[in-house]
Amino acid sequence: MTLLTWNHACTVGVRALDDQHGILMDAMNELRLAVAHGSGREQLSQLLDQFIEFSRMHFASEERLMEQTGFGGLHEHRAKHQCLLAQVLQSAHRLQHGEGVEMTPLLDYLRNWYVEHISGTDQQYGPWLNKHGIS
């Protein structure tokens, strides 16, 4: 199992958001370790819920800053956040209700989504926010 590590391509240049991305990666790694150690459904459910809760807070922070500065790509960006949340909430719901969830594909999906999102989509607002005095 590989854990996620920070690299330069992940930096967006806004301190608070970079910190949040770091926390999201830590939360994802915690979930990966829990799966690798064979943790029970209840614990996995709790960790996944925490991860979702933090993702929500993070997405709201980004969207607020994009909105405040009139960033043109806000709607498209928000749609991507909503799409991820809808997918993950479905798995969290299944887990809560004792239904089977394949954790490894879910973790792979999350990892790929976040790496692509942070090193691609999130990069688009960095220079814009910096230009508007947010760093």
Chain contacts with Fe ion (rule: CB under 5 A): 62, 122
Q: Which is nearer to Fe ion, 45 or 62 (CB)?
A: 62
Query: Residue with CB nearest Fe ion?
Result: 122
CB-CB neighbours of 8 under 10 Å: 6
Q: Which is nearer to Fe ion, 110 or 122 (CB)?
A: 122
Q: Which is nearer to Fe ion, 32 or 122 (CB)?
A: 122
Q: Give residue for tokens 């960095």.
A: 126
Contact (Cβ atoms closer than 8 angstroms) between residue 4 and residue 29:
yes
Name the minimum Å distance from CB 37 to Fe ion: 28
Name the minimum Å distance from CB 80 to Fe ion: 7
Spatial CA neighbour of 111 closest among 90, 88, 93, 92: 88
Name the minimum Å distance from CB 39 to Fe ion: 26
Cα 34 to Cα 96: distance, rounded to the nearest angstrom: 16
